[in-house]
């Protein structure tokens, strides 16, 4: 009786949908061609595993990594030491009632090899009005367990002390960190003559595209990626960069000596005049 009811239901389904009987025939043919993997139920068909699961089962298989336009930014060394030069990049959020004042939201430092030596989200002293997520990449959840500004400031100051600091528009980053750094130890890609266009400063993504052949900052900014890019640009032009720094430092040193000598001459002249009188 059950078989009759099943046959009647199948006939009714076939009448409603002409493809039903064709589908049933295909399923029966597949069952006959492929032996069941379940010996207890030979009529039960086991669905084939996906191509991806088959690849995983293969010994020694390594999934293909999709090509990245920023592969050049991947560090080539596993050295995470504090090198002579460190590159820094910061992301800002908006504070005050209108959110138009910038405050530090994240700071990243990478070494010469591009490996991250410091990367922290920062909880600003003031209430955040605008997270500027479309640029900063920072979301409210990122700042829930973030460290306070003073803690991060102290750590960054320790790391960059006595080292060459590389960056793009470093004055903005140092400003939100409430820090300063000696000019002789600062390498800023916005002020280097070679990188200017008609005397104007250029965006980091333009420099990265021209000198590294990579695209960055397409959507949300990544401070790790930006710091690596600026470090690579500095390394590529390090000799020229350093040559441009040394004459400027020597000029300032000579200028100080001349001023000191002038002030000394004036003092001696005054002494002579007072002695004469």
* Spatial distance between the Cα atoms of 119 and 51, rounded to a whole number of angstroms: 39
| H runs (alpha helix) in 58-131 | none
CB contact at 8 A, 85 and 118: no
91-130 residue pLDDT tens: 999 998 888 899 999 999 999 999 999 999 999 999 999 9
Q: What pLDDT does residue 206 have? A: 87
Average pLDDT over the chain reads 78
Q: pLDDT tier at 201 (50, 70, 90 boundaries)?
A: confident
Rg (CA), the chain: 34
CB contact at 8 A, 110 and 232: no
Residues in the chain: 277
* Spatial distance between the Cα atoms of 26 and 202, rounded to a whole number of angstroms: 65
Name residue, tokens 């979301």: 139
71-102 residue pLDDT tens: 889 998 999 999 999 999 999 999 988 888 99
85-95 and 101-110 as β-strands: parallel, antiparallel, unpaired?
antiparallel
Q: Is the pLDDT of residue 197 over 90?
A: no
Higher pLDDT, 214 or 153: 153
Q: Is the pLDDT of residue 270 over 50?
A: yes
* Spatial distance between the Cα atoms of 187 and 104, rounded to a whole number of angstroms: 21
Enumerate residues 6+ apart whose C-beta is below 8 A from 83. Answer: 111, 112, 113, 163
CB contact at 8 A, 131 and 140: yes
CB contact at 8 A, 106 and 180: no
Domains of the chain: 71-239 (3.30.420.10)
Query: CA torsion angle for 244, 245, 251, 255 (degrees, to 10)?
Result: 150
What are 260's two structure tokens? 């000191």
Higher pLDDT, 170 or 60: 170
* Spatial distance between the Cα atoms of 226 and 207, rounded to a whole number of angstroms: 11
61-70 residue pLDDT tens: 343 433 444 7
């Amino acid at each position: 009786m059950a078989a009759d009811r099943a046959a009647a239901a199948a006939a009714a389904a076939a009448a409603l949908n002409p493809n039903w009987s064709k589908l049933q025939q295909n399923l029966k043919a597949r069952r006959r061609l492929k032996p069941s993997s379940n010996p207890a139920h030979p009529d039960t068909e086991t669905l084939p595993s996906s191509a991806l699961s088959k690849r995983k089962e293969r010994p020694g298989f390594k999934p293909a990594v999709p090509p990245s336009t920023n592969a050049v930014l991947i560090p080539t060394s596993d050295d995470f030491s504090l090198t002579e030069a460190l590159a820094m990049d910061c992301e800002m959020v908006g504070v005050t009632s209108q959110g138009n004042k910038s405050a530090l939201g994240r700071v990243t430092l990478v070494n010469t090899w591009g490996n991250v030596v410091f990367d922290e989200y920062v909880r600003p002293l003031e209430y955040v009005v605008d997270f500027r997520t479309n640029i900063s990449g920072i979301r409210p959840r990122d700042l829930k367990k973030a460290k306070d500004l003073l803690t991060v400031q102290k750590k960054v100051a320790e790391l960059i002390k006595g080292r060459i600091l590389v960056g793009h528009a470093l004055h903005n980053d140092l400003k939100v960190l409430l820090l300063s750094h000696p000019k002789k130890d600062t390498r800023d890609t916005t002020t280097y003559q070679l990188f200017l266009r008609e005397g104007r400063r250029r965006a980091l993504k333009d420099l990265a595209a021209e000198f590294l052949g990579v695209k960055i900052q397409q959507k949300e900014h990544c401070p790790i990626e930006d710091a690596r890019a600026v470090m690579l640009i500095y390394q590529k032009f390090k000799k020229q960069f350093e040559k441009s720094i040394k004459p400027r430092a020597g000029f300032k040193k000579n200028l100080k000596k001349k001023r000191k000598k002038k002030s000394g001459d004036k003092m001696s002249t005054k002494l002579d005049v007072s002695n004469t009188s």
